[in-house]
Amino acid sequence: MTEHSNKRVAFVTGANKGIGLETVRQLAKQGITVLLGARDEQRGKDAVAKLQGEGLDVQFLHLDVNDATTHDAARMFIEDNFGRLDILVNNAGIALDVAQKPSEVDMQTLRKTFDTNFFGAISVTQALLPLNRKSDAGRIVNVSSGLGSLTQHSDPTWKFYEVKPLAYNASKTALNAFTVMLAHELKDTAIKVNSADPGFTATDLNAHRGYKTVEQGASIIVRLATLPSDGATGGYFDDEGVVPW
Ligand code: NAP
């Protein structure tokens, strides 16, 4: 049998830039081996080279959340090289309908958004869950958004009350449902499943209009990815605490 390292191993999807890249950096700084997922090989390898240049233990793993063949290949790679997966961060995401009204958003935009932000995250998780079960401290973090909270959307005093793109917001609400249902299924295992809201963070996703830095945005993801054994599961958190569903 192959001997595998005792170091924790994490995988972050959509990590060639933005919050995902910074999540990889912060996890690797904690001494975790991190697999940096990217759908584009060149962009992924460039990002890996940058982090390796900072002395971090980071490797490239090709994965397109919309291409299940890459999920199977990723499972085989991780199985062969590490034997298990301790941390999965479903970070890859798109926002296509920022300027569209709910009454006008086209079906293609809705479907494309759900394909990446919801179905993609589920497909990746299902493919890698057997490896997460082999960890004695499995952690799954679904990178959601405060915009997925129906409670906040119903509160006229909420600071993002006017921000109502249906495709993006509903895809994150659905992702939160996956968190709750999967956490329930896994409640008697060592795996914890949580949703993270990074907050409005300056990245390409919002043309850098966000007021948080990627360091700040990634921090709640990293905290949930490294929860102790008595940490929460089935929850929804930002860096100030619990976010209402
Ligand atoms: P970003 O800079 O645009 O990064 C998005 C990442 O997802 C990129 O690496 C992109 O890869 C990747 N991606 C997109 N589609 C993919 C696919 N099919 N397969 C694999 N990777 C794919 O955005 P970000 O702000 O860092 O967003 C990261 C996550 O945080 C998203 O889930 C987003 O919804 C969430 N979030 C962001 C904010 C915010 O204010 N920025 C707030 C709340 C939640 P390419 O470079 O190849 O396109």
Between CA 36 and CA 21 the distance in angstroms is 8
Q: Is 168 a catalytic residue?
A: yes
- Catalytic choice (161, 168, 211, 236): 168
- Whole-number Å distance, alpha carbon 205 to ligand 1 midpoint, is 6
- Whole-number Å distance, alpha carbon 18 to ligand 1 midpoint, is 7
Amino acid at 125: T
Sequence spans of domains, the chain: 3-242
Residue closest via CA to ligand 1's atom 43 equals 145
What's the confidence (pLDDT) of residue 43? 98
Q: Which atom of ligand 1 is nearest to the CA of 40?
A: 47
Between CA 238 and CA 151 the distance in angstroms is 15
Between CA 183 and CA 235 the distance in angstroms is 9
Q: What is the mean pLDDT of residues 52-77?
A: 98
- Token readout for 58 is 């980071």
What's the confidence (pLDDT) of residue 1? 47
* Residue pLDDT, tens place only, 146-192: 999 999 999 999 999 999 999 999 999 999 999 999 999 999 999 99
What is the separation of C-alpha 95 from the centre of its chain, rounded to a whole number of angstroms? Answer: 14
Q: Which atom of ligand 1 is nearest to the CA of 200?
A: 40
Rounded to whole angstroms, what are the CA distances from 242 to 12, 94, 232? 23, 24, 11
Q: What is the pTM of this model?
A: 0.98
Check: CATH 3.40.50.720 for 3-242?
yes
- Whole-number Å distance, alpha carbon 47 to ligand 1 midpoint, is 14
